[in-house]
A and B are shown apart, each in its own frame.
Chain A
Amino acid sequence: MPIIKQKDYKTWKKFDRKRDLQNWLCWFLGTLIFSFCFGLISSKTIWFYVFDSHNEALDLLGRMFPPETNYFFTLIKPIWDTLNIATIGTTIGTLIAIPLAFLSANNTTPSKKFLRPLALFCIVSSRSINSVIWALLLVAVVGPGVLAGIIAIGLRSIGFCGKLLYEAIEEIDENQIEAIEATGANKAQIMTFGIVPQILPAFTSISIYRWDINIREATVVGLVGAGGIGIELDAQIGDLAWAKVSVILLAIVVAVVFSEWITAKIRRCII
C-alpha cells in the first residue's frame, strides 16, 4: 500500500503503480473480449424484434391476465406427476450414485487404473447432458409419459450426487477406519461401520439438495413429452391459451417455493 507524496500533502492508494497497471490491463482485456463476443451475438440478432419486445411483453401480459383460475383443478394431476418424477427420479439417481461414488473415490476404489476412470466418466457424462436432452432420448425409447421423465431425472442426478458424494468420501477421517480395522472387521464391516456413518450427513443433504433442483427440472422434461406439468405448458403455449399459461407458471412458482420450504425444514431437522 504505497503512500503517494503530492506537492504539499500525502495521500494513500490501495495498490502501487505496477498492480494498478495490471488491474487496468485485465479490465481492458475483459472489456475487449466482452465487446467482441457481444458484437458477434449482435450480428446474428434482428434488433427490430428486440427493441419491439416491450410491446410484445405488454401484449402477452394483457393476454395472460386475468388467469383462468378454474383451470387449476385440471392441473392437480400434472403437479402430482411432476412431484413424483422429481422424488422417484432422485431416489433412483442417488441409489445408482452410491456405488459409483465408492468406485470413484480415491480411498475406496478397488482399482485405480481401470474402474475409477470408468466411474468418473459415467459421472461426468451424466452431468454434462441436461435432463431435457436425456428426456428427448428416452421418450423415443420408452415412449412419452412419466416413466421417461423419471429415468431422465434419475440419470441426470447420478452425476451430481455421485460427484459430491465421492468428494465427501475422499474427505473422511482415516483414523476412524483404522479403529474399525483394529477390531478385526472385514471389508463390508469397515464399510458399514467406518465409512457409512461418516458420509451419511453429506449423503442426506446432497439428496435433499438434488430433490430441490429436480422439482425445477421436472417442470421442463414434459416439454419434450416426458410427463408432468411441462406437457400441459407445452400444450397451452401451442394453443396460445395464455390465460392458462399464467396459471401454470403460478403453479410452478408455488411448487418451487413449497419444495424450498420443505428442504429448509428437513435440513434444520437433520443438521
Chain B
Amino acid sequence: MNDKKVIWKRKPLIKNRLLRIGLILLISTYLLSVFLTTEIDWQRILEGIPRGKNFIFAFFPPDFITRSDEILAGIFESLWMTIVATIVGILISIPVSLGAAKNIAPKFVYFLSRGVITLSRSFQEVILAIFFVKLMGFGPFAGMVTLSLSTIGFFAKLLSEDIEDINKSQAEAIKSTGSSWFQWVNYGVQPQVMPRFIGLSLYRFDINFRESAVIGIVGGGGIGSTLNTAFDRYEFETAAAVLIVIISIVMIVEYTSSHLRKLIK
C-alpha cells in the first residue's frame, strides 16, 4: 500500500450521475416556477398576524357549557351517521370488491368495478356532499349517503387487493368439491380475507367519523354543522370546544380501533 489515505465515501442515492443532476435541475426549476406563479401577498400576511393572534385568542377559554346541548346532539348525530354509513358502504363494497378482483371477475365486470372505485375515489367527500345536499336536502341523510359512497372507493379497492392475494389452492379445493359460485366465495375466499375485512372496517369507521366533521360544513349534518354554526355566530369559544371534542373522540376511536385490530391479528 502506498501512503495515500483511503477515504470512504457514502454511495450516492442515485447511481447514474446524469439522472442525479437532471433530477436536481428538474426539482429546482419546478420550485422556481411555483415561486414565480404563486401570488403571495406579504402585506396581507403581515396584517394577518395580529389579526390571527386575536382570532386564536378568541378561542380561549373553550366554552363547553353554553351550547352543550347542541354539541352533544351534533356528536350523536355524527355517530349515527358514521355507523349507518360504514355498514351501508361496506355492504355495497362487498360485491364491488369481488368484481374488482382480477382472479374472480370476468374482464367486463372487472373494468366496470374499477371504474366505480376510481370515480368514488376521485371526488373528495366534501364535493360529493355538496351535490348530495343539493339533491336530497340538508341533514344527516345526505351526509350518510356521501360517507357510504366514499367508503366504497376506499374499502373495495383495498379489499379487492386482498382478494387478489388469496391462496389459490384453498379456493380450488372448495371448487373441486363441486360447490356453486356462492359457496365457493363463502367457503373458499371469504375466510381468507376476513381478518383484513374486519381491520379495514374498523379503520374506515375511524375515517368516516373524522370526515363527518367536515361534511357538516356544507350541510351534511353532524358535528360539522355545529362547528359551522359556531363559526357563523362568531362564537369561537364554542368552536374551540367542538374542535377539542372532535380531537378527543377521534383519539378514543383510534386507540380502541388499533387495539381491536391488534387483538384480531
Binding site for B on A (CB under 8 A): 14, 30, 33-34, 37-38, 40-42, 44-46, 49-50, 53, 56-57, 60, 77, 80-81, 84, 87-88, 124-125, 127-130, 132-133, 136-137, 140-143, 145-147, 193, 216-217, 219-220, 223-224, 233, 237, 249, 252-253, 256-257, 260
Q: Which residues of B contact A146 (CB under 8 A)?
A: 38-40
Binding site for A on B (CB under 8 A): 10, 30, 34, 37-41, 44-45, 47-49, 51-52, 55-56, 76-77, 79-81, 83-84, 87, 118-119, 121-124, 126-127, 130-131, 134-137, 139-141, 144, 187, 210-211, 213-214, 217-218, 221, 227, 231, 243, 246-247, 250-251, 254
Contact of B48 among A40, A88, A143, A253 (CB under 8 A): A143
Q: Is the CB of B250 within 8 A of A253?
A: no
Q: Which residues of B contact A140 (CB under 8 A)?
A: 48, 51-52, 55
Q: Is the CB of B80 within 8 A of A37?
A: yes
Q: Is the CB of B38 within 8 A of A45?
A: no
Q: Is the CB of A220 within 8 A of B126?
A: yes
Q: Is the CB of B84 within 8 A of A56?
A: no
Is the contact region of chain A dominated by helix, strand, or loop, or is it mixed? helix
Q: Is the CB of A125 within 8 A of B247?
A: yes
Alpha-carbon distance between A137 and B134 when the two chains are bound, in angstroms: 26
Q: How many A-B residue pairs have CB under 8 A?
A: 151
Q: Which residues of A contact B49 (CB under 8 A)?
A: 141
Alpha-carbon distance between A60 and B210 when the two chains are bound, in angstroms: 29
Contact of B243 among A37, A133, A253, A257 (CB under 8 A): A133
The 8 closest A-B pairs by CB, nearest first: A141-B52, A49-B137, A128-B250, A37-B80, A143-B44, A45-B141, A256-B122, A53-B135
Q: Could you list 5 A-B pairs, sorted by A, with CB under 8 Å?
A: A46-B137, A49-B137, A128-B251, A129-B247, A130-B213
Q: Which residues of B contact A60 (CB under 8 A)?
A: 131, 134-135
Q: Which residues of A contact B251 (CB under 8 A)?
A: 124, 128
Q: Which residues of B contact A127 (CB under 8 A)?
A: 210, 250, 254
